[in-house]
Amino acid sequence: METQTRAPGPRRIVAAAVLTGVEGLIVAAFGIVSLVMLITGRPDGMTQAATLAVTVLALSALPLAAARGLWLRRRWSRGPAMIVQLIALPVAWQMAQNGGGLLAAAVALALAALTVLAALVNPKTAEALGIGQR
């Protein structure tokens, strides 16, 4: 019995999926670190710290789901992936304004967001995802 494996698709989709997944993992890691700090430390506001940690963990679900959808070439995944990138651009801008060590992270985030957006608006990506086909 032969099993069929679906190829991940064009390199644009693979790159978009990987970058979006990495963004999601970074957000999830921040949420986990926030939770650990909440448990091990003494935050000024317990409720505020718990809300931040849970919110950040919940927010990591969108890029992770979008990345998985792109990897599996699901039509629905392009919209959420684009939303994540459009949110990432002002975050990168704000990080750049703070300068210092955040500048490198801001540049990396902005480049990743622009790369994913460019990949997702490409007509070949839309075709591979089945967008615009009847």
**Residue range 95-114, pLDDT digits in tens:** 999 888 889 999 999 999 99
Band the pLDDT of 7: cuts 50, 70, 90. Answer: low
* Kind and range of the H or E run holding 6: none
The whole-angstrom separation of Cα 31 and Cα 119 is 28
**Residue 133 CB contacts under 8 Å (≥ 6 apart), including other chains:** 127
- What distance in Å separates the CA atoms of residue 84 and residue 64, rounded to the nearest whole number? 10
Averaged confidence pLDDT in the chain: 89
Q: Which amino acid is at 74?
A: R
- Choose among 57, 51, 53, 64: nearest CA to 23: 64
